[in-house]
Amino acid sequence: MKLIKRKLRIAVITVSILLISLVAYGVYSLGVSGNRWFSSSVNTSLRKVKQGVVPGRIYDRNGIQLAGANNKGERLYHTDETTRRSLVHVLGVPDGTVKNGVETFMSYLLYAYDDSYVRRLSAAFSGQMRNGYDLRLSISSGLSRMITDQFPKDKSGAVVVMNYRTGEILSLNSFPNFDPLAMEGVATNPQKPYINNVTQWRSAPGSTFKVVTLAAALANLPDAMERTFTCTGAYQVGESIITDAGNATHGEITLQRALAVSCNITFAKLALELGDEQLRLTAQSFGLDDHLLFSDLVVENSRYPSKDRIAKELAWTGPGQSVLFVTPLHMCLVASAIANDGVMMAPKLLLQALDHHKQGKAQMTPLVYKQVMTAKDADIIAEAMRQVILSGTGTRAAVPGLKICGKTGSAQIDGQESTNAWFVGFIDEKTLPYACCVVVNEAGEGSRHAAPLARQIFEYIKTQR
């Protein structure tokens, strides 16, 4: 009998501990990712809430209406097809085909989920629809449209532009895109146009990652910028031979020059000298391997490789090949942190939410995501990125009269004939604090196929000054 009692007591204690842990985890998850849970498709109460509410209107940063609704609560869109296509991944669509667009991720505002019971009751009794909150986004529809017009028509890819001082996203374009008024076949299209390539697609960022390797060198090698490396055009690591684009040979070269001309061999040597642990720590300080939980955007976590860290793999990680998985949005954050004295701002999409009586329901406040590196190191990398534009692989991103800094990349992907063209960069001017990341898949070199689009973005921003 005593034994049974004891076993029973242990069982009760065990079950209690499990229950308490479950409740604690539930409270924690709601706190950390409340609107992620709220906007998820498994939340059936949301569907009920949506009936009986006219969703709020969505405006761009300049007050241009991007989405409205009729009095039955059905979505109405901008009259211009290019505008609709340019914004489909930002706004999403009411049926959730695009995951985590504003339409679903900010549905708690668009459908006024926090409306008082008095208002709900009075609406129910009078038989009237309630009104959701109107949202003003940080997006520039003009810039988004220009990017859609200029992006190669037959390519997939991603473009994102943000204010590196505040984190405001000015444009977020994924290609291919589609018209929210012509949804037939979109969900079954093998090209998956509903995927947001800026936030959901992860890939090796090619040589744009060299800015991270350079940051690791600055953090760990006191004389990094004074040293020279030797590039003989081929460098054997294990059974792998590392070469440079166009079979270039750079000879004796400083790290600043190696970034400007994008010398793979120097950055491979640098990675081997730093070692996997130090390169990983710097990559992690830039947010790789973080569990990203931004308030306005759902972004896939970027990854520094954890398996097979043999010399060959490590050597290829230095120049950004190997099995790195990084989203274009994350590379834009990397460039932004360099531009912003080493401080990475959290990306923001929502400037303001107003209810039907113009009462504020949400207001954007800039939020520091993390201090990535010292301001001094950020300055040194920015100067090296300036040389990329002045006399290196990024000359096609130059804009007369603007101080542009950048880095090109041509990411080799198994099974692809052409490389993915990358460019990350920013305007180094107090009054124009903007950074961008451009990716054109299977296009060729970043210098030829991504940098020119970055130039057009910088030029557009300059004309809006």
Contacts with Zn ion by CB under 5 A lie at 231, 244, 250, 263, 265
What is the CA 145 to chain-centroid distance, rounded? Answer: 19
Q: How many other C-beta atoms are found inside a 10 Å radius of the C-beta of residue 224?
A: 19
Q: How many other C-beta atoms are found inside a 10 Å radius of the C-beta of residue 317?
A: 27
Closer Cβ to Zn ion, 89 or 269, answer by number: 269
Closer Cβ to Zn ion, 194 or 267, answer by number: 267
Nearest Cα neighbor of 319 from 216, 396, 232 is 216
Least distance in Å: CB of 251 to Zn ion? Answer: 8
Q: How do beta strands 134-137 and 350-354 pair?
A: antiparallel
Query: What's the per-residue H, E or C state across 163-219?
Result: ECCCCEEEEEEEECCCCCCCCCCCCCCCCCCCCCCCCCCCECCHHHHHHHHHHHHHH
For the chain, the helix, strand and coil percentages under 3-state DSSP, each to the nearest 5:
40, 20, 40
Closer Cβ to Zn ion, 263 or 373, answer by number: 263
Least distance in Å: CB of 319 to Zn ion? Answer: 10
What is the token pair recorded at 249? 């040979």
Structural contact between residues 218 and 379, judged by C-beta atoms closer than 8 angstroms: no
How far is 225 from 378, CA to CA, in rounded Å? 13
Structural contact between residues 86 and 177, judged by C-beta atoms closer than 8 angstroms: yes
Cβ partners under 8 Å of residue 154, min gap 6 = none
Least distance in Å: CB of 231 to Zn ion? Answer: 3
Least distance in Å: CB of 312 to Zn ion? Answer: 18
Closer Cβ to Zn ion, 210 or 330, answer by number: 210
Least distance in Å: CB of 232 to Zn ion? Answer: 8
Closer Cβ to Zn ion, 126 or 232, answer by number: 232
What does each C-alpha distance from 113 to 71, 147, 183, 294 come to in angstroms?
Answer: 18, 34, 27, 20
Least distance in Å: CB of 248 to Zn ion? Answer: 6
Closer Cβ to Zn ion, 180 or 446, answer by number: 446
Least distance in Å: CB of 404 to Zn ion? Answer: 23
Least distance in Å: CB of 322 to Zn ion? Answer: 18
Axis-axis angle for helices 210-220, 276-285 (nearest 10): 110
Closer Cβ to Zn ion, 224 or 265, answer by number: 265
Closer Cβ to Zn ion, 263 or 389, answer by number: 263
